[in-house]
Amino acid sequence: MEGESRWACPSCGARRLALEELPNIGALGAQPLSDLIGMGDPIDRPLPGIVCLNCGRQWPSPEAVWAEAEGAAPPGPDDSR
């Protein structure tokens, strides 16, 4: 299924977890020449959160999702399942 995530949502059980991408809207608008020479808006954005595309529930970090999921642990670096 297209759009299916590896892990299920702790709230609704659907496999529709995704990164919540924050919009990148500059204070000065689009200025390609300034961006090329590194004088555009400073990039100080927080990491994106996790959102369920099915129920709309949001979490600030992957750790918050694992904390809510009963008995689930975050995958390790050698977890290839």
Does 10 score more than 70 pLDDT?
yes
**Angstrom distance (rounded) from CA 68 to CA 63:** 9
pTM above 0.75, yes or no: no
Nearest Cα neighbor of 27 from 43, 12, 38 is 43
- pLDDT tens digit sequence for 29-75: 667 777 677 665 666 667 788 999 999 999 998 888 888 885 555 55
For position 53, what pLDDT does the model report?
A: 92
Query: Residue 25: CB partners within 8 Å, gap ≥ 6?
Result: none
For position 57, what pLDDT does the model report?
A: 92
How many Å is the maximal CA-CA distance in the chain?
Answer: 51
Domain boundaries, the chain: 1-22+45-73
